[in-house]
């Protein structure tokens, strides 16, 4: 009798679980799976705008893919750059987020305000605000600085002129300027990661640190032996999130390529580049996820 009640309760909980998942399943089916299938079909076709609207697709096989891998001299270089440059920025964001989360855990005046400030970019970077910043600030900055120049939402003044009389090497000044320019971008992209890491840090039992203190462990040893292993499961999620966020960033050269093709109504090449890029991103995320999952420490193990 008890087993029947237990099974009935388990089924009831399962039904509620599927009920909560239903909007997500419906949304991902309509807004991701079906558009992705259409994109794959378009990548193997030659699209032309029909007389009555819509697209007329002519199957061309792998011709579009052969073009980008054999004839387009810039695509492979841009693809490699897009994938490689995201990795160091991810490491920087993860390190910064972990440090800020550990700092915000401590008791200090106006801690709530400090937490709100670090999470504020996440609220701002939604809806029309981020669209205006991306299209106006980033594109105008690129147009003024040149096609190959890196643009930032906020830029530091020309430090070369300020320190010209001090005899500081120009390369050093350029490095300092780049770091200052990227500080705001770093904070802008770290809001969600800080929130996740802060939640994980607050869930570390204080008894762990009390025992370590009784054993005479230093702060450095507490970090490597307690904090980092306990945070490792959350780090897996944060790393994957940061990687994907970097791969789909507006400043990413492949994302700009896809947008440019769409702007000139070349949806065939836009779909082809999108499919290639999606496969590469999934491969990188899969490898990183596999490596991180093997390193992560779970308390149940």
Q: What are phi and psi of 134, to 5 degrees?
A: -70, -50
- Does residue 231 carry a pLDDT above 70? yes
- Both structure tokens of 264: 């000139």
Q: Is 236 exposed, middle or buried (0-12, 13-18, 19+ CB in 10 A)?
A: middle
pLDDT tens sequence across 79-109: 888 888 888 888 888 988 888 888 888 877 8
pLDDT given at position 52: 65
pLDDT band at 240 (very low <50, low <70, confident <90, very high): very high
Q: Which of 16-30, 46-60, 192-206 has the lowest mean pLDDT?
A: 46-60
Mean pLDDT of 130-159: 50
CA distance 161 to 223: 42
CA distance 55 to 16: 41
H helix or E strand, kind and range, residue 47:
strand 45-49
pLDDT band at 287 (very low <50, low <70, confident <90, very high): very high
Instruction: Name the CATH superfamily, with its identifier, for domain 74-295.
Output: MetI-like (1.10.3720.10)
- Which of 14-23, 117-126, 168-177 shows the highest mean pLDDT? 14-23
Residue 55's DSSP bridge partners are 49
pLDDT band at 276 (very low <50, low <70, confident <90, very high): very high
- Does residue 279 carry a pLDDT above 60? yes
Residue 45's DSSP bridge partners are 59
pLDDT given at position 124: 67
- Does residue 126 carry a pLDDT above 60? no
pLDDT given at position 147: 42
pLDDT tens sequence across 149-162: 455 555 555 555 66
pLDDT band at 277 (very low <50, low <70, confident <90, very high): very high
What average pLDDT does the chain have? 78
pLDDT given at position 229: 86
CA distance 241 to 76: 25
Residue 192: C-alpha distances to residues 101, 123, 187, 206, 229 (Å): 11, 10, 10, 24, 21
Q: What are phi and psi of 49, to 5 degrees?
A: -75, 125
Higher pLDDT: 95 or 136? It is 95
Q: Which of 10-14, 195-199, 237-241 has the lowest mean pLDDT?
A: 10-14
- Residues 199-221, buried b or exposed e (16+ Cβ, 10 A)? ebbeeeeeeeeeebeeeebeeee
- Both structure tokens of 215: 């054993």
Long-range contacts of the stretch 168-172 (C-beta < 8 A, 24+): none
Mean pLDDT of 261-274: 87
Contact status, residue 41 vs residue 266, Cβ threshold 8 Å? no
pLDDT given at position 283: 92
Contact status, residue 56 vs residue 291, Cβ threshold 8 Å? no
- Three-class secondary structure of residue 56 per DSSP: strand
């Amino acid at each position: 009798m008890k087993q029947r009640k237990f099974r009935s309760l388990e089924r009831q909980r399962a039904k509620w679980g599927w009920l909560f998942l239903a909007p997500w399943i419906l949304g991902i089916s309509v807004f991701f799976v079906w558009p992705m299938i259409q994109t794959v079909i378009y990548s193997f076709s030659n699209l032309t705008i029909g007389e009555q609207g819509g697209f007329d697709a002519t199957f061309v096989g792998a011709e579009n893919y052969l073009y980008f891998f054999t004839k387009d001299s810039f695509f492979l270089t841009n693809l490699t750059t897009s994938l490689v440059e995201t990795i160091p920025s991810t490491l920087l964001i993860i390190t910064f987020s972990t440090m800020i989360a550990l700092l915000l855990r401590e008791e200090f005046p106006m801690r709530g305000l400090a937490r709100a400030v670090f999470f504020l970019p996440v609220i701002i970077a939604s809806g029309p605000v981020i669209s205006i910043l991306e299209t106006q600030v980033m594109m105008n900055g690129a147009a003024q600085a040149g096609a190959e120049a890196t643009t930032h939402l906020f830029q530091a003044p020309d430090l070369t002129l300020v320190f010209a009389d001090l005899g500081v090497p120009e390369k050093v000044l350029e490095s300092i300027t780049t770091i200052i320019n990227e500080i705001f971008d770093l904070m802008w992209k770290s809001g969600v990661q800080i929130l996740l890491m802060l939640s994980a840090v607050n869930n570390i039992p204080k008894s762990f640190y009390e025992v370590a203190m009784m054993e005479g462990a230093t702060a450095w040893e507490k970090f490597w032996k307690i904090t980092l292993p306990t945070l490792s499961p959350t780090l897996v999620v944060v790393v994957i999130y940061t990687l994907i966020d970097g791969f789909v960033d507006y400043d990413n050269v492949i994302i700009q390529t896809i947008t440019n093709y769409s702007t000139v109504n070349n949806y065939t090449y836009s779909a082809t580049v999108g499919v290639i890029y999606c496969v590469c991103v999934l491969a990188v995320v899969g490898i990183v996820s596999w490596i991180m999952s093997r390193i992560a420490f779970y308390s149940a193990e």
